[in-house]
Amino acid sequence: MKRTAILLLVTAFAGQAMAQQLREAPITPAFTPVSWDRLMNATDEPQNWLMYSGTLDSQRHTYLDQINRNNVDQLEMKWAYQIPVIDRAETTPLVVDGIMFITEAPSNLVAVDAVTGRQYWRYDHELPDDIRICCGRNNRGVAILGETLYMSTLDAHLVAIDARTGNVRWDVEVANYASGYSKTAAPLIVKDKVVTGIAGGEFGIRGFIDAYDAETGELAWRTYTTAGPDDPNVSTWSGDSWRTGGAGTWITGSYDADLDLIYWGTGNPGPDWNGDVRLGDNLYSDSALALDADTGDITWHFQFTPHDVHDYDAIQVPILADINFQGQQRKVMMWANRNAFYYTIDRTDGDFLAGKPYALQTWAQGLDADGRPIRAPGMEPTYEGVVVSPAIGGGTNWFSPAFNPQTGYFYVNAFDGEQRFFKRDEDYEEGDRFTGGGGQYIQAMDTYNSAIRAIDPATADIVWEFPIQPRSTAGIMSSAGGLLFSGSVDGYFFALDASNGRELWHMSLGARVHAAPMSFAVDGKQYVTIAAGNVVYTFGLRD
């Protein structure tokens, strides 16, 4: 009887919501469909932010310069959008012709007016009660092609949503959430495909990168990130450990149209902290992969941390640029890794060009001529615990770095932390955590140094740093106005001079910043947007 009443009540509410949707039939203003040609030439329309990192080379650099060193102190808040589900916001919104698309925790999406923050429509993805997620109910952004948005969801689905109305075009299951798979990162559009990764490295998943037909949702190719029996590199895994070897792909990659290569990072091997059950280098965990855009075949790989036992995922956004390296113009990929080393890599063939620590590290004695780490003895996790730098969170983590073509510097939020690393014996059970250990801070967070560090990619040297207290887990955006924008866990949003790190402006937003900034313009006015706590804030110059 009671159950029937509840069912009727739920049905009534669902009916109400549907009726409201039918009554309101919300729709955005029309916009020019975002073609692949527009995405490839995103720098030609800096008023729009068309993908997670701004451009396919992922420099997270806006070519807008209306807000610049001379006037950034006149920034004021224009609007705030409150995310209704309380969790932490890690989103980078997109803006297309004055319409902003914001993803929310756990797996929702909203379209708002980019000038006012007022809502057009919202899409709430229905999730099962028993999702398996390692580290919070997050979503970091969407991709757009034509008039369709593509979003990852925590139940490991990929959903195509009509950008004008929020209606679902298709919804595919990428993997079984009950086995520990989930999805949090913004997909990347490459030609007519939606390229997307997977999370679940703490649940003994087998990682992969997928490409789906943007129109139909049909799987075009899948590339596994733990080498299986069809790959000679299966020999880098003892026994069948590749089956539960992790190597998630939970942040967005990059694309080079000239080379027709997709670049994507991979996460830790599983179990994270007990390498005894997966002897060998464990390819392709903790690696940068260059994939043929049409087939997904691995053209080359560069493994930052062979046989990782500290959870040093190579889950960073690969930044692509052409730079002068020792007198020659080189196509490079820049990468500040979670393992606390910075790398400049030739992106045509994966050759190591330069690398040095950019944050405190004790696990390696350095890098050899090929960029392979020379391990320091006694740094593997033990049953009793051993203190190692960097901490599990790394010298940096997933949050976006940036590159400024004018200064030629690469910028990263760095953390000089340490933790006591433990290992334990653990059997794999599908859907359960499979980490084989863990870590524990041994001092207060205030004890450690944290800073935005500017790195010269030609030498891997740190050029300047701006100290942050206690630390930052935010992304960085560079601008043609000579600025860097970023945030910190003490709730500040701030702007620095990109050439020397001098503080130019800051505002307290009252909550931790976990997201990365982006910029756009409407009617000739530039804006900067950042999410902090559960709020998305947009700033512009004083009128």
Partner 1 sequence: MLRLNLLQHRHLAACLPLLLAAIGSVSVPAVAQDEGNLYDTPFDVSAGESYFQRQCTRCHGQDAKGNDETGAPDLTGSLRRASSDAGIFSIIRQGIAGTAMLPVPIDTPDPTVWQLVAYINSLRTDPANIDLPGDPAAGLALYNGKGDCARCHMINGRGGRLGPDLTLVGEQLDPEELKTALTVPDEDVAPRWWTVRVTQRDGSVVEGLRMDEDTFGLRVIDADANLWSFRKNEIDSFEVNQSSTMPSYTRTLTENEIDHLVAYLFSLRKEN
Residues that bind partner 1 (CB under 8 A): 86-87, 129-130, 132-137, 202, 385, 393, 420, 422, 424, 426, 431-433, 435, 438-441, 444-447, 467-470, 488, 490-492, 494, 503, 506
Residue 311 is among the residues annotated as catalytic for this protein = yes
Residue number, 222 or 424, with CB nearest to partner 1: 424
Residue number, 28 or 472, with CB nearest to partner 1: 472
The Cα–Cα gap between 191 and 204 comes to 32
DSSP secondary structure of 432-476: S---SEEEE--S-GGGSEEEEEEEETTTTEEEEEEE-SS------
Residue number, 129 or 230, with CB nearest to partner 1: 129
Q: Do the beta carbons of residue 494 and residue 506 sit within 8 Å?
A: yes
Residue with tokens 């929020």: 166
Residue number, 57 or 418, with CB nearest to partner 1: 418
Q: What Rg, from alpha-carbon coordinates, does the chain have? A: 22
Q: Do the beta carbons of residue 391 and residue 439 sit within 8 Å?
A: yes
Shortest gap between Cβ of 86 and partner 1 (angstroms)?
Answer: 5
The Cα–Cα gap between 480 and 406 comes to 8
Residue number, 255 or 466, with CB nearest to partner 1: 466
Residue number, 165 or 382, with CB nearest to partner 1: 382
Torsion of CA 527, 528, 531, 535, to 10 degrees: -30
Residue number, 368 or 503, with CB nearest to partner 1: 503
| Continuous H helices in 167-212 | none
Catalytic residue among 57, 210, 281, 311: 311
Q: Do the beta carbons of residue 140 and residue 92 sit within 8 Å?
A: yes
Shortest gap between Cβ of 492 and partner 1 (angstroms)?
Answer: 6
Shortest gap between Cβ of 343 and partner 1 (angstroms)?
Answer: 26
The Cα–Cα gap between 18 and 453 comes to 50
> Which among 320, 253, 311 has a CA at the least distance from the CA of 285?
311
Number of Cβ within 10 Å of residue 500's Cβ equals 11
Shortest gap between Cβ of 329 and partner 1 (angstroms)?
Answer: 37
* Those residues with Cβ within 8 angstroms of residue 336's Cβ, 6 or more apart along the chain or in another chain: 316, 342, 343, 358, 395, 396, 401, 410, 412, 414, 455
CA distances from 366 to 156, 309, 448 (A): 38, 17, 22
Residue number, 145 or 388, with CB nearest to partner 1: 388
Q: Do the beta carbons of residue 370 and residue 398 sit within 8 Å?
A: no
Residue number, 352 or 441, with CB nearest to partner 1: 441
| CA distance between the termini of the chain | 61
Shortest gap between Cβ of 515 and partner 1 (angstroms)?
Answer: 17
Core vs surface per residue 370-389: b (16+ CB within 10 A) or e? ebbbeeeeebbbeeebbebb
Shortest gap between Cβ of 90 and partner 1 (angstroms)?
Answer: 13
The Cα–Cα gap between 5 and 473 comes to 46
Three-state DSSP class for residue 37 = helix
Shortest gap between Cβ of 81 and partner 1 (angstroms)?
Answer: 19
Contacts by residues 483-489 (CB-CB < 8 Å, ≥ 24 positions apart): 483/67, 483/68, 483/69, 483/72, 484/402, 484/404, 484/411, 484/452, 485/517, 485/519, 485/528, 485/530, 486/413, 486/452, 486/513, 486/517, 487/513, 487/515, 487/517, 487/530, 487/532, 488/512, 488/513, 489/513
The torsion region of residue 340 among left (phi > 0), alpha (psi -120 to 50) and beta comes to left
Q: Do the beta carbons of residue 445 and residue 439 sit within 8 Å?
A: no
- Provide the annotated active-site residues: 311
